C-alpha cells in the first residue's frame, strides 16, 4: 500500500475516539429538520478547533467548512446531513435520545460525525491537498423540500467541481462500501386528489353523483400508469396511501380525498407521469360526472450518480479498503435530497455498511431499534478523506 493510504488510515484511527464521542453526543440530542441548532453549533465548534474555516447560519442551520491545500486547484465538496426523525427511540443504548419523540434513526448522526472526522484528518493533510475541500453540513434531508436546494441557493456549490456523500446501509456489513452508477434513487412526488360528486341517499344513487365508486375507478386507473405507460424495463411506482370520504352506510358523500406517492427513475418519465396522472384522474372523474382536483407536490428529483466519478470512487475504495469490502449497491425507490447537488455537479452518493449480525445490529433505518456498528465510522471517514485528496489530484492532472 502506498504512503498516503497508510497515513489516512492511521490518522483515521487517531481521530476515531473523538468521532465516536461526537456521534454519540449528536445521537443523544437529536434535532428535527431546520431545527439543528445545537448540532450545527457542535459542527462549527469542532471544525474551528481543527483549524477549518467556517461559515455558520447557511440556509438557517447549515454550516460550511473549507480547507485550502498547499497547492491551488479545484474544489471538491463532501456533504453530511444533520437532521433526525420524529420517532421515539427504543434501543435502550446508554447514549439514546434525550429528546422525546425525536431520534437519529436514519444515521445522520453518523454522517455528521464522519464529515467532522474527515475534516479533522484533512486538516492534518493540508500538504497533500491540491485545491480546496468544501464541507457541506446541511439541514433537513428528511423533510421536503429538503435542505439541499437552500444550501445550493446560499452558494454551497460555488466553484465546486465534484461532490461526494454517503448514507448508512443496514443491509451491508460494517466497514463495507457500495457504489451504483447512474440512477440510484427515485424522484418522490406527493399526490393530493379530491374527487367531488353530489351527495344523497345510498338507496337512491340515481339522484347522486357517487364520488366513492369513481374513486375506486381512479385508484385502479392510476395503476395503469405503471402497467401500461411505463417501459417494462424501467422502474416506477404509484401508491395511494390514504383514502378519506363518507361517514355513514346509507349516505353517498360529496367528496373523497386521496393522498399518494409517485416515484420514478427518470426525469422524462416523471414529467410524462405527471401529465398522465392528471389525464387519468380527470378523465375518469369527468366520465362519471365528478369533478377532480389534482395537486402534485414536487419532492426530491431522481438521484443520478455520474459515471466517471462513481467508477473513480469505487476504484478508490478498492485501493483504500480492499476489493472484499466494496460491493455493488442496489437501486432504491427511496428518495434523497443529495440528488439536487448531483443535478449541478458530478459526483457520487454511496453506501456505508453498518450491520453487525453477531452483535444484533440489523434493524433498518427509520426503525425505533435502529443503530450502527460504530467501527463503520472509520471506513466512512477514510473514504471521504481519500476521495477528496485523490479526486483533487485527479482534477489537477
Ligand atoms: Ni437518511
What would the pLDDT profile of 222-249 be if each residue is shown by its tens digit? Answer: 999 999 999 999 999 999 999 999 999 9
Distance from Cα 322 to the centre of ligand 1, integer Å: 26
Mean of the pLDDT values across residues 308-329? 98
Confirm if 396 and 130 have CB atoms less than 8 A apart. yes
Render 284-309 in DSSP notation, one character per residue. HHHHTT-EEEEEEE-----EEE-HHH
Give 150-166 pLDDT, tens digit per residue.
Answer: 999 999 999 999 999 99
Instruction: Output the pLDDT for position 1.
Output: 58
Q: E strands of the chain, at which residues?
A: 53-58, 62-68, 71-81, 130-138, 160-173, 177-179, 182-185, 187-196, 200-201, 236-245, 251-252, 255-264, 291-297, 303-305, 326-328, 347-355
Distance from Cα 210 to the centre of ligand 1, integer Å: 42
Distance from Cα 285 to the centre of ligand 1, integer Å: 38
* Extents of the domains making up the chain: 3-184+302-395, 187-297
| Burial (Cβ within 10 Å: 0-12, 13-18, ≥19) of residue 18 | middle
Residue 360, phi-psi category: left (phi > 0), alpha (psi -120 to 50), beta (remainder):
left
Confidence class of residue 278 from pLDDT cuts 50, 70 and 90? very high
Distance from Cα 341 to the centre of ligand 1, integer Å: 15
Q: Could you tell me the end-to-end alpha-carbon distance of the chain, in angstroms, rounded to an integer?
A: 22
Cβ within 8 Å of residue 2, ≥6 positions away: none
Distance from Cα 168 to the centre of ligand 1, integer Å: 8
Confidence class of residue 338 from pLDDT cuts 50, 70 and 90? very high
- What number of CA atoms fall less than 13 Å from residue 173's CA on the CB side? 7
Mean of the pLDDT values across residues 191-202? 98
Active site residues: 300, 374
Distance from Cα 83 to the centre of ligand 1, integer Å: 9
What is the percent of the chain where pLDDT is above 90?
99
Under DSSP, the state recorded for 397 is: -
- Evaluate if residue 40 carries a pLDDT over 80: yes
Distance from Cα 177 to the centre of ligand 1, integer Å: 16
Distance from Cα 334 to the centre of ligand 1, integer Å: 10
Q: What is the largest CA-CA distance in the chain?
A: 84
What are residue 257's DSSP bridge partners?
Answer: 194, 244
Instruction: Return the residue matching grid coordinates 456549490.
Output: 157
Which of these CATH numbers, 3.40.630.10, 3.40.190.10, 1.10.3720.10, 1.10.4160.10, describes 3-184+302-395? 3.40.630.10
Distance from Cα 381 to the centre of ligand 1, integer Å: 17
Confirm if 314 and 164 have CB atoms less than 8 A apart. no
Instruction: Return the residue matching grid coordinates 369513481.
Output: 214
Distance from Cα 142 to the centre of ligand 1, integer Å: 7
Distance from Cα 107 to the centre of ligand 1, integer Å: 6
Confirm if 349 and 136 have CB atoms less than 8 A apart. no
Tell me, rounded to whole angstroms, the distance of Cα 201 from its chain centroid.
48
Under DSSP, the state recorded for 364 is: P
Distance from Cα 242 to the centre of ligand 1, integer Å: 24
Residues lining ion ligand 1 (Cβ < 5 A) are 106
Distance from Cα 105 to the centre of ligand 1, integer Å: 8
Residue 103 vs residues 68, 83, 221, 382: alpha-carbon distances, Å: 35, 9, 38, 26
The pLDDT mean for the chain works out to 97
Cell numbers at residue 194, please? 379530491
- Evaluate if residue 187 carries a pLDDT over 80: yes
What are residue 297's DSSP bridge partners?
Answer: 190
Distance from Cα 164 to the centre of ligand 1, integer Å: 15
Under DSSP, the state recorded for 331 is: P
Cell numbers at residue 350, please? 454511496
What is the percent of the chain where pLDDT is above 70?
100
Topology given in CATH for the domain delimited by 187-297: Alpha-Beta Plaits (3.30.70)
What are residue 258's DSSP bridge partners?
Answer: 193, 243
Cell numbers at residue 46, please? 469542532
Instruction: Output the pLDDT for position 2.
Output: 80
- Evaluate if residue 215 carries a pLDDT over 70: yes
Tell me, rounded to whole angstroms, the distance of Cα 95 from its chain centroid.
24
Give 10-26 pLDDT, tens digit per residue.
Answer: 999 999 999 999 999 99
Amino acid at each position: 500500500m502506498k504512503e498516503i493510504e497508510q497515513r489516512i488510515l492511521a490518522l483515521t484511527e487517531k481521530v476515531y475516539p473523538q468521532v465516536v464521542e461526537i456521534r454519540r453526543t449528536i445521537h443523544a440530542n437529536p434535532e428535527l429538520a431546520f431545527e439543528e441548532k445545537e448540532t450545527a453549533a457542535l459542527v462549527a465548534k469542532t471544525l474551528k478547533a481543527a483549524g477549518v474555516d467556517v461559515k455558520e447560519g447557511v440556509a438557517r442551520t447549515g454550516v460550511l467548512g473549507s480547507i485550502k491545500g498547499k497547492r491551488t486547484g479545484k474544489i471538491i465538496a463532501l456533504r453530511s446531513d444533520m437532521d433526525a426523525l420524529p420517532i421515539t427511540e427504543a434501543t435502550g443504548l446508554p447514549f439514546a435520545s434525550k429528546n422525546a419523540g425525536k431520534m437519529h434513526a436514519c444515521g445522520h448522526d453518523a454522517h455528521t460525525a464522519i464529515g467532522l472526522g474527515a475534516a479533522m484528518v484533512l486538516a492534518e493533510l493540508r500538504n497533500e491537498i491540491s485545491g480546496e475541500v468544501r464541507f457541506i453540513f446541511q439541514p433537513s434531508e428528511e423533510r421536503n423540500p429538503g435542505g439541499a436546494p437552500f444550501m445550493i441557493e446560499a452558494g454551497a456549490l460555488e466553484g465546486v467541481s465534484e461532490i461526494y456523500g454517503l448514507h448508512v446501509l443496514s443491509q451491508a456489513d460494517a466497514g463495507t462500501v457500495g457504489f451504483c452508477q447512474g440512477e440510484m434513487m427515485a424522484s418522490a412526488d406527493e399526490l393530493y386528489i379530491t374527487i367531488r360528486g353530489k351527495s344523497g341517499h345510498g338507496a337512491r344513487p340515481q339522484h347522486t353523483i357517487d364520488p366513492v365508486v369513481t374513486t375506486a375507478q381512479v385508484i385502479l386507473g392510476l395503476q395503469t400508469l405503471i402497467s401500461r405507460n411505463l417501459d417494462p424495463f424501467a422502474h416506477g411506482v404509484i401508491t395511494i396511501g390514504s383514502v378519506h370520504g363518507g361517514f355513514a352506510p346509507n349516505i353517498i358523500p360529496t367528496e373523497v380525498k386521496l393522498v399518494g406517492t409517485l416515484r420514478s427513475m427518470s426525469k422524462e418519465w416523471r414529467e410524462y407521469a405527471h401529465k398522465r396522472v392528471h389525464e387519468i384522474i380527470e378523465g375518469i372523474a369527468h366520465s362519471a360526472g365528478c369533478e377532480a382536483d389534482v395537486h402534485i407536490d414536487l419532492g426530491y428529483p431522481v438521484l443520478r450518480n455520474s459515471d466517471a466519478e462513481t467508477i473513480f470512487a469505487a476504484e478508490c475504495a478498492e485501493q483504500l479498503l480492499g476489493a472484499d469490502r466494496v460491493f455493488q449497491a442496489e437501486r432504491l425507490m427511496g428518495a434523497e435530497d443529495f440528488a439536487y447537488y448531483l443535478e449541478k455537479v458530478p459526483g457520487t452518493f454511496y453506501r456505508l455498511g453498518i450491520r453487525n449480525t453477531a452483535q444484533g445490529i440489523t434493524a433498518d433505518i427509520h426503525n425505533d431499534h435502529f443503530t450502527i456498528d460504530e467501527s463503520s465510522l472509520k471506513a466512512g471517514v477514510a473514504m471521504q478523506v481519500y476521495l477528496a485528496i485523490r479526486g483533487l489530484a485527479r482534477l489537477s492532472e
